[in-house]
Amino acid sequence: MANHSYLFLALLLFSSLFNRSIVFGANTDGYRVLSVQSLLLPAESCKSKEYKRPGLKIIHKHGPCSPITGQKATTLEIIQRDESRVNWIQSQLTDDSSRLNVQDITLPAHLGTSLRTSNYIVTVGFGTPKKEMTLEFDTGSDLTWIQCQPCAGSCYPQQQPIFNPSDSSSYLNLSCSSTQCSQLSLAAGCSSSTCIYFTAYGDGSNSTGFFANDTLSLTQSDVFPSFLFGCGQQNTGLFGNTAGLLGLGQGVLSLVSQTASKMGRVFSYCLPPTSSSTGYLTLGPNAIPSGIEFTPLITNASSPTFYFLNMTGMRVGGQALPIPASTFASPGTIIDSGTVISRLPPSAYTALRSAFRQGMSNYALLSPASIFDTCYDFSGPGNITVPTITLSFEGGVDVEVDFSGIIVPVNQTVGCLAFAGNANAGIWTIIGNRQQRTFDVVYDVAGGRVGFGPGGCS
């Protein structure tokens, strides 16, 4: 049972720390045709889908499939939050000193939106007996944490009851002298000999609490005793009404690493094309479906959490853009489940924008909206015709982006090009989740590769 004799000391410590797609037709000349209504008007009902691969269901946090209720964020609010996440990621990649740090399962996954963490959510079980917790999942984080009673500092409101360690017969706080405590990227310290974790994000969101282990249940048959996680006692920030965060990074404390003996450091997901549909998250060797094309996973010792790959070029309407591969090589490219909109080097974005605007010359260009500078009025009836966009990676891997990754609706009449340019050439390229939609995205960490397959959850 949980031992909470150190809560008062922990509270003192806390206070010191805080003083393919929705396409009706695809032409052979590099254009796609889409219904205006399906693009701009949100669906009111959930279209959940069951997948043959076992695992977790992925859900959009702000869609009708989401178990998280409450006020929904607008597209522009989501993008403002996305900017904070991107700034945080760039700070981790450019300033290492500031960085805080074989079976099969498939988890239902849903799209959710928050400031720093993933836009998609899954539901897992903690403790004995199991208590279901809905978490944002994030390939840019390692440590999994949930809010815990008695919230000695403070907890934000969440949809489900806050986890009570005293109700779990398998819960155990870890000591400061334990090997596990030394694995934390940043330990806040000790409360009487109990290990305290601390994690903070670029927007000011943070979580602090006991570093502990307990049973993690992903599915009925995939249960992991002594799973290391943060039992949060002081949690603040824009995490919505979720219970916490599920870390899918490459670090030693991530879900991927902790389940490696059974799952083989392999996982895949498909992010649904709309907020009214569902995708999946699968762990294990059978997470690799057929039809996947792989590009090498690049090792970066200074940033062991993130997933790096080599982007080599882009095409618009089937035509290669005049972008040298070296443009994406310095400083490099990461793929991230929690960033919404892909960020490109300035010269690459300029080339993309120019070609896209030329392909959209039949539509009137509007004023910029937030980070988007290529927007159009689609208020008229009928269909719209949009040039295709393809991302190319090392090994000859071409990913033709789903329509939902080409145009992002900012309101019920306006849609914008769903990419943004970085402020300068020295900033990392990020492949965001909007451009990953509908694909089987496979992370074969053990094999050193990342793969893409079309039509994963379309």
Residue type, 212: A
Q: How far apart are the first and last CA of the chain?
A: 45
Which of 379, 399, 359 has the alpha carbon at shortest distance from 21? Answer: 399
- How confident is the model at residue 64, as a pLDDT? 78
Report the alpha-carbon distance of residue 191 to residue 43 in Å, rounded: 49
Query: Which residue bears the tokens 């869609």?
Result: 63
Residue-level pLDDT at 316: 98
Average pLDDT per block of 10 residues along the chain, 458 residues long: 41 36 45 76 72 78 72 67 78 56 45 46 96 94 96 93 98 95 79 89 82 96 96 88 94 97 96 87 91 95 92 98 96 93 97 98 93 92 90 98 93 92 95 95 97 89
**What phi-psi label fits residue 226: left (phi over 0), alpha (psi between -120 and 50 degrees) or beta?**
left
Q: How far apart are CA 245 and CA 117, in angstroms?
A: 8
Question: Which amino acid would we find at residue 334?
Answer: I
**Annotated catalytic residue: which of 82, 142, 336, 440?**
336
Beta bridge partners of 33: 25, 385
The active-site residue, picked from 138, 203, 214, 440, is 138
Rounded to an integer, what distance in angstroms lies between the CA atom of residue 436 and that of residue 433?
5
β pairing state of 223-236 and 145-147: parallel
Task: Output the pLDDT for position 4.
Answer: 43
- Greatest Cα pair distance in the chain: 69
pLDDT of residue 359: 96
Q: Give the residue extent of every domain in the chain.
A: 49-285, 289-453
DSSP secondary structure code for residue 190 in this structure: E
Residue 138 annotated among the catalytic residues of the structure: yes
Confidence (pLDDT) at 72: 61
Instruction: Detail the DSSP E strand segments found in 237-369.
Output: 244-247, 266-270, 278-283, 293-296, 307-309, 311-316, 319-320, 333-335, 342-344, 365-366
Cα separation values, 376 from 40, 44, 244, Å:
12, 24, 37
Instruction: Sort 16 into a burial class: Cβ within 10 Å, 0-12 / 13-18 / 19+.
Output: exposed
- 147 SS3 class: strand
**pLDDT at residue number 24:** 29
Taking the domain 289-453, which CATH number applies?
2.40.70.10
Instruction: List, for residues 365-387, the tens digit of each pLDDT value.
Output: 999 999 999 999 988 767 889 99
Q: Which homologous superfamily is 49-285 in?
A: Acid Proteases (2.40.70.10)
Please name the helix (run of DSSP H) or strand (run of DSSP E) that holds residue 360, with its range, or none: none
Phi-psi region of 405 (alpha: psi -120 to 50; beta: other; left: phi over 0): alpha
Cα–Cα distance measured from residue 175 to residue 79, given in angstroms and rounded to the nearest whole number: 40
What pLDDT sits at residue 186? 66
